[in-house]
Amino acid sequence: MSGQEMQWQVDGLTLRGLAWGPEDGHPVLALHGWLDNALSFEMLAGHLPQCRIVALDLTGHGRSAWRSADATYQIWDDVPQIAGVLAELGWERFTMMGHSRGAVVATLTAAALADRVHGLILLDWMLPPPMADAQVVPQFRKFLADRTKRTPRTFGSAEAYIERRVQNGNTRAVAETIARRGLGRADGARRLLGDPRLYGASALKLSIGQIEAFLDALSMPAIWFSCRKGQGKQAWADDLQSRARARLARFEVVELDGHHHAHMETETAARIAMHLADFWRGSTD
């Protein structure tokens, strides 16, 4: 299902993405995971024909611009640019949907724009594990050291890139889909379009108190699709889900068979869409 190419100018950067569905459909802003791109939502969009799904290539990913040399790729850095895209779209009320790192950014965005977010859809993640105070300085040092790692990753062929992703746990279908928008050509090889600074360590991570504050700010219904072969860190996922249930007026967890990118598989995407139909029926403006 081919998406409509989209483009926006935000903060002096060109952001690109894809859109599916009727322009007057239920508005959904979709954020992909780390090193993925807007095609992450191609399969799911086909099962949600009543929605206007706009999926971004987040800055530094896919066909969107890289940030300037002095900028960073912290999870909160995406939020002002997302707000800029929303302003260009003219959406006053919308649903946020995110996968993995994109689910984290979607959660931060939903907390910041809670009065405008109709619902929050989380695909195999929500917020990262908290960091102990004793780890703050070592983490910051690692972030500083990683800032010099800026060599683009290249592969001899698209097949070599696909095989690398398969070795890292993706199915071939998922890897091929991501490759379609994630690779460019360079001197006869294939270059990963993502900014190599995305591989660097985060400067800081949220404390448990800060995580709870973000949860407290989520006034909208939320649903977390948790994959049994997913992101890992199951102890933290269980803890976070428990904290979310205690703080959100409506919070659902749906267990899915499959891997971290299960929303990109036909059968699982259909199941997610079925649950979302019930989820939206139970949501009110």
Q: Which of 64, 100, 202, 283 is catalytic?
A: 100
Which among 52, 53, 14 has a CA at the least distance from the CA of 30?
53
Torsion (CA) 263, 266, 267, 273 in degrees, nearest 10: 60
Q: Is 40 a catalytic residue?
A: no
> Annotated active-site positions, please?
100
